[in-house]
Amino acid sequence: MALGRKKVLGLLGAVAAVVLIASRLLRGAPARGGASTGDSTLRPAAVAVAKRAPLANTLSLSGEFKPFQEVDLHAKVAGYIRHISVDVGDRVQVGQVVAVLEVPELEAEVQGAAASLERAKSAHAAAHFAYLRLKQASEARPGLIAPQELDDAFARDKELEAQVEVSEANQKQQTALSDYTRITAPFTGVITQRYADTGALIQAGTSSNTQAMPVVRLAEDDRLRLVLPVPESAVPQIHLGTAVRVRVQALDRTFEGRVARFSSDLDRQTRTMETEIDVANPDGRLVAGMYAETVLDLGRKESALTIPVEAVSRKGSESTVLVVGSNDRLEERRIELGMEGTTRVEALTGLREGDRVVIGNRSEFRVGEQVQPRVIETAPSDGGANP
């Protein structure tokens, strides 16, 4: 009997120990969602704290580089290429001769114009001296020279003087045409195309009825134009001189540029405004045709009350957030948005610094529900970092 009693007591002690251990385990078990304290039945909610931070409003666009200037060089007069001194890739300076034409008939016309001018000058000189002699004789002995004869001599003098002026103008014209046989660079740049070789016949590029072949194509590349399609919503914030960061993936480099000009007119199909960025290219590393990713700084605030973008629910022009109150119950607030960055937005009204807003899927929660808030560290504020 004593032995049986001991077995019963031992069994009761073992059961009590198991109950005690289980009770301790239950008391020390974490609440639902990982919380060590509190009601385990409450739904956990990821929240972010409204805080003041620098905020930049930026716009990312892609564009293609174009030469700052590009032109096909045509001949003013028709002729054969006597000499062409440049080829594709050659750099030329403004005023440098790139090709010389041979126009035999033009050379003859220049010589003929010079000879005609000399004849006109000689004839005018003889007529002028004849008039002066008659005038002096008439003054020395009045009545010796008939007035009609003196008038005829004066008219002859003026007629030949006019012929000299006509001959001079003709010579200048022929000389100017002769100068057009030397094709020069209108600006400093690089030759990107060569269309003709020595001996090729080049037609004059002044007639719209002929398809005259150019000699070379010249592009200015010490600075380039980056053409960007700015969307309609950002047009009011585009201003001359706005800073632009230009990232060229092919070179793995970032360049600085500024808004140099814009069309002030929207494309009716794309609803964008063509905007040009000037980018310096002193070392020639940038090449026309390269693509670039750009970031335009449209505005910046050094201290704005910001919340994550994903915390905001938008319905038309109305924006709302779910705020966790002091008793951890959810309430919906209407807010007015200000500047918007890529990851955070500015709350102008409806929130105070330190308010907790729900981020993530709002459809899981209902207004008035009590939750277990968990503060999540969100991405840093948009401060305009380089791409």
Q: Is the pLDDT of residue 222 over 50?
A: yes
pLDDT in tens, 179-201: 888 899 999 999 999 999 999 98
Name the residue with tokens 């039945």.
41
Sign of CA dihedral 54, 59, 64, 70: negative
Q: Select the more confidently predicted residue: 8 or 147.
A: 147
pLDDT in tens, 333-346: 999 998 888 788 99
Give residue 387's pLDDT.
Answer: 41
Assess contact for 358 and 44: CB atoms under 8 A: no
Q: 75-101+181-214 has which fold?
A: OB fold (Dihydrolipoamide Acetyltransferase, E2P) (2.40.50)
Instruction: Choose the weakest-confidence range: 71-75, 134-138, 246-250.
Output: 134-138
pLDDT in tens, 31-49: 333 333 445 688 899 999 9
Output the CA angle 50-56-62, nearest 5 degrees: 130
Q: Is the pLDDT of residue 354 over 90?
A: yes
Backbone φ and ψ of 317, nearest 5°: -90, 0
Q: Is the pLDDT of residue 30 over 50?
A: no
Give residue 190's pLDDT.
Answer: 95
Give residue 163's pLDDT.
Answer: 87
Q: CA-to-CA distance for 227 and 88, rounded, in angstroms? A: 25
Most confident of 121-125, 233-237, 345-349: 345-349
% the chain with pLDDT above 90: 43
Pick the CATH number of 60-68+222-300 from 3.30.70.260, 3.10.105.10, 3.40.50.10420, 2.40.30.170: 2.40.30.170
Q: Select the more confidently predicted residue: 39 or 227.
A: 227
Q: Select the more confidently predicted residue: 16 or 232.
A: 232
**Does the domain spanning 43-54+303-375 belong to CATH 2.40.420.20?**
yes
The Cβ of residue 95 has, within 10 Å, a number of other Cβ atoms equal to: 10
pLDDT band at 383 (very low <50, low <70, confident <90, very high): low
| Average predicted confidence (pLDDT) for the chain | 83
Q: CA-to-CA distance for 142 and 151, rounded, in angstroms? A: 15
Domain ranges of the chain: 43-54+303-375, 60-68+222-300, 75-101+181-214, 104-178
226 forms beta bridges with 65, 277
Name the residue with tokens 């114009």.
113
- Average pLDDT, stretch 264-293? 91
pLDDT in tens, 127-139: 888 888 888 888 8
Structure tokens at 210: 């002929």
DSSP conformation class of 75: B
Q: CA-to-CA distance for 19 and 21, rounded, in angstroms? A: 6
- Average pLDDT, stretch 170-184? 82
pLDDT band at 292 (very low <50, low <70, confident <90, very high): very high
Q: Is the pLDDT of residue 114 over 60?
A: yes
Backbone φ and ψ of 329, nearest 5°: -100, 145
pLDDT band at 28 (very low <50, low <70, confident <90, very high): very low
Structure tokens at 352: 């105070």
Q: Select the more confidently predicted residue: 95 or 8.
A: 95
% the chain with pLDDT above 70: 86
Give residue 328's pLDDT.
Answer: 92
